[in-house]
Structure 1
């Protein structure tokens, strides 16, 4: 089946899993999408298993801008070994929600061999992109991938500003990331600990 026809088939299938209550709850929490069927992430994972890994289909789904389920499904079926740095940067430049930022980091970006390049790129961008950066940094650290000094310096510089944010999702991602960097004992662990302590997050 042609990729375009597969995309149409997938979009039609979302109706089978739609959950209006969940979609409404997301809107109340500030998760705005042009189209949101309220399909649960477990259901999306089951759909991903059905279609398997497919880079062309994943990119086509990602290009369905504003459709929540298409974009989340894209993060699940994109083969990490077939995602170029150019494509990853394009996706990174097009993050539109905290949910998507978290799923990109967890489902896909952490498996790329240029993860810290993506972290530095995302740290230069808007709030939702930085949510992705902090989540990605945390995942890479937990995978045992030691960051370079350039990434650690940039993380601390941006985090020292973001730690004063009123955006709870951004702050939560940031604190998790900093605590992970401290516990894993990176070369900047002491500076990370001081940043947390100085801002009252030593026992966060």
Structure 2
């Protein structure tokens, strides 16, 4: 780590003390969001803080190494998508232990990757629920942005969504369900495809 990045990291950590919110931190712990260190700083404050640093791959990489909630969230904001490779993306995913960080990785960073669609399909087929949640969040973001999947990807998505919706993991099912709704939002033909493939799940209003 160079001197400039070291000083930035030091300044960021010091700022967390000033912005600490014990009430939010305690609330997160009671809801199962366990981090080694969690200052309870709201997302909107972290986003503003990230804007002051801009895109900085070196700082983002160092922030990600820290086992601190706020550091990891800042990393998702300031890492340039073009710097990420499939290998780095998988490594970051493997180092993610909470649903909050998985969703923020998807929404703030992974959705902008040039290989976002491919990695999302890989993630939703993972045996790890937190990885699946990230994958569905990436696809939800892509669908929300109006990106339409190829016929092959439609089949892949709906087949995997069916498997997920038949599972017992509530959080994963919720992520898949929201993704299905985003998929249907692409247009009538997509809604028909979802209804045809997922009709037995009784998730559509009549």
- TM-score for both structures, normalised by structure 1: 0.89
Aligned CA-pair RMSD: 2.2
Q: Residues 20 and 166 (structure 1 numbering): CA distance in 2 closer, same or farther, change over 3 Å?
A: farther
Aligned-pair distance for 1:51? 1.2
Q: Distance in 1 between matches of 2:23 and 2:50?
A: 23
Mean Cα deviation higher: 181-190 or 7-16: 181-190
Query: What aligned pairs does 1:107-186 form with structure 2 within 5 A after superposition?
Result: 107-125=108-126, 126-185=128-187
Query: What aligned pairs does 1:28-107 form with structure 2 within 5 A after superposition?
Result: 28-64=30-66, 66-107=67-108
Give per-residue Cα distances to partners, 1:153-187, cap 9 Å, x unaligned.
33223322221344443222211101111231487
Aligned-pair distance for 1:137? 0.4
Mapped contact 1:98–1:131 kept (Cα < 8 A): yes
Q: Distance in 2 between matches of 1:74 and 1:136?
A: 17
Q: Distance in 2 between matches of 1:132 and 1:85?
A: 14
Mapped contact 2:148–2:186 kept (Cα < 8 A): no
- TM-score for both structures, normalised by structure 2: 0.88
Mapped contact 2:162–2:198 kept (Cα < 8 A): no
Gaps (5+ residues) in structure 1? none
Aligned-pair distance for 1:80? 1.8
Mapped contact 1:44–1:69 kept (Cα < 8 A): yes
Mapped contact 1:182–1:193 kept (Cα < 8 A): no
Q: Corresponding residue for 2:11?
A: 9
Aligned-partner SS, 2:11: helix
How many aligned residue pairs are there?
A: 203
Aligned-pair distance for 1:150? 4.2
Q: Distance in 1 between matches of 2:47 and 2:177?
A: 28
Q: Distance in 2 between matches of 1:142 and 1:166?
A: 26
Aligned-partner SS, 1:73: helix
Aligned-pair distance for 1:17? 1.0
Mapped contact 1:119–1:151 kept (Cα < 8 A): no
Q: Distance in 2 between matches of 1:152 and 1:92?
A: 24
Q: Residues 83 and 14 (structure 1 numbering): CA distance in 2 closer, same or farther, change over 3 Å?
A: same
Mapped contact 2:22–2:39 kept (Cα < 8 A): yes
Q: Distance in 1 between matches of 2:10 and 2:161?
A: 41
Q: Corresponding residue for 1:193?
A: 195
Give per-residue Cα distances to partners, 1:75-118, cap 9 Å, x unaligned.
01111233233322222232211111111111111111111111
